[in-house]
Amino acid sequence: MNICIVSDIVYPFRGGLERVLLRQAEEITKMRHKVIILTSAEKNRSDVEIINSIKIYRLPSINIPFGFRVAIPKKKNIKKILLKEKIDLVHCHTPFILGYQSLKIARSLKKPYILTLNAHPPKHYTIHSRICNNRYFNRYILKLIIRFCNNVDQIIVPSYELKNYLLKNKVITNIEVISNPIDLRQFNKSNFNKQFIKKYNLENQRIILTIGRLMKDKNQKVIIEALPLIKKKIPNIKLIIIGEGYLKSKLIKLIKKRDCRKEVLFFNKIPNSKISRAFFSCNIFILPSFFEAQPLTLLEAMACGKPVIVSNEIISASELVKDGINGFLFNPNSEKELAENIINLLNNEKLQNKMGKESLKIFKNIGIESSFKKLETLYKKLII
């Protein structure tokens, strides 16, 4: 099979979506299928490049706020690529201009088209807009996304809650739930050593970890606001934040304002191959986002057997976090509730260990190992 993956955002941008689609592309390639990617042009990168045997076509694009680029290709150029590469199926991950254009071309060539939604519409797409709280604007964006969904041949989502949400909003296209993939080889405890802890002088520290772009929807602010409350009870607390984004300077100012500079350690980037060291080093993983579908970082923390404290606004939260069993759910607008959960858990090592074991148990039941096989089976079904 010859598969074309469509996404406005891909390597070198580092985030959950980019890691998901590159991992999928690599694994499908290992199954002896050909994969190409259509994406946005980036500065200092060639229009066509090959990464891990995957050919990436970078199409004309424009900057939009907050560090993203959106492709604005001509339909004839997309058609030319699909014909040249003898594409059998198109798999889209971002329902923007590139998505709409590639859908029209796939239809004209009578090729099946899949849409994966790794976001909770509509606010996941509008939160960075100044009018994100305007219900009419959100309703309009949701209408566009639902229309897109009802014009494709197949939808994939990583969460049953997201599937139910789409069905309630009158999506009639068949929806398959396939969990996001992570590289299980990286999250084997036998690979863990104490280098990370020694390198950053974290001995005898109680470590809480959060990973994500430093953007409004990721909501790292609530953890920083909770720190003064936490350090009153736990003076050896250390918050590790891994991520980069447009809010970094504001978050640093907030850390200074709350007098928590000694308690916070920032990392812009950690290679994917070494990210497990941060997970295995922490006591608790925290995910305070307002919107997520099925966060990779949460799956990775659970794969490492860590207790988790997660925003109850995340659509898949109740599927992955059993409140009081493998962690806690909390209101992402309440630093007091978050602080109480962190303090209770850090003061009870027995509970930490118990919840960590439950996280690993829940993770193993998700069936991530079969994600790629399910995807291949779906591809074959649509092509035939």
The whole-number average pLDDT for the span 42-66 is 87
The answer to whether the predicted template modeling score (pTM) of the entire model surpasses 0.75 is yes
- pLDDT for 126: 60
Distance from C-alpha of 43 to C-alpha of 49, rounded to nearest angstrom: 13
Tokens of 261: 């500079």
- pLDDT for 369: 73
- C-alpha 22: how far from its chain's center? 13
- Tell me if residue 197 falls in helix, strand or coil: helix
User: Following DSSP, what letter does each residue of 11-71 receive, concatenated?
Assistant: TTS-SHHHHHHHHHHHHHHHTT-EEEEEEE--TTS-SEEEETTEEEEEE-EEEETTTEEEE
Distance from C-alpha of 154 to C-alpha of 329, rounded to nearest angstrom: 32
Distance from C-alpha of 21 to C-alpha of 159, rounded to nearest angstrom: 16
Tell me the backbone φ, ψ of residue 95, rounded to 5 degrees.
-85, 60
Distance from C-alpha of 67 to C-alpha of 150, rounded to nearest angstrom: 30
Q: What is the pLDDT of residues 152-192, one digit of tens each?
A: 999 999 999 999 999 999 999 999 999 988 877 777 776 67
**In this predicted model, which residue has the larger pLDDT, 75 or 370?**
75
Contact in structure between 321 and 297 (CB atoms under 8 Å):
no
**Does position 131 have pLDDT exceeding 90, yes or no?**
no
What is the crossing angle of helices 335-346 and 221-233, to 10°? 50
Instruction: Using pLDDT thresholds of 50, 70 and 90, give the confidence band for residue 124.
Output: low
Q: Do you find a cis peptide bond into 73, omega within 30 degrees of 0? A: no
Tokens of 375: 């995807």
**Does position 130 have pLDDT exceeding 60, yes or no?**
no
Contact in structure between 270 and 281 (CB atoms under 8 Å):
no
- Tell me if residue 194 falls in helix, strand or coil: coil
Indicate the helix (H) or strand (E) that contains 232. helix 221-233
- pLDDT for 42: 84
**Does position 1 have pLDDT exceeding 90, yes or no?**
yes
**In this predicted model, which residue has the larger pLDDT, 132 or 371?**
371
- pLDDT for 16: 73
- pLDDT for 14: 61
Distance from C-alpha of 48 to C-alpha of 371, rounded to nearest angstrom: 28
The whole-number average pLDDT for the span 218-231 is 97
- pLDDT for 286: 98
Domains of the chain: 2-179+368-383 (3.40.50.2000), 184-364 (3.40.50.2000)
- pLDDT for 288: 97
**Does position 203 have pLDDT exceeding 80, yes or no?**
yes
C-alpha dihedral sign at 273, 275, 281, 287: negative
- pLDDT for 125: 65
Largest separation between any pair of C-alpha atoms in the chain = 64
Q: What is the pLDDT of residues 136-159, one digit of tens each?
A: 888 888 999 999 999 999 999 999
Q: What is the pLDDT of residues 236-262, one digit of tens each?
A: 999 999 998 889 999 999 999 999 999
Question: For residue 264, which amino acid is it?
Answer: V
3-state SS track over 105-165: HHHHCCCCEEEECCCCCCHHHHCCCCCCCCHHHHHHHHHHHHHHHCCCCEEEECCHHHHHH
Q: Which residue has the tokens 């036998």?
A: 190
Mean per-residue pLDDT of the chain: 91
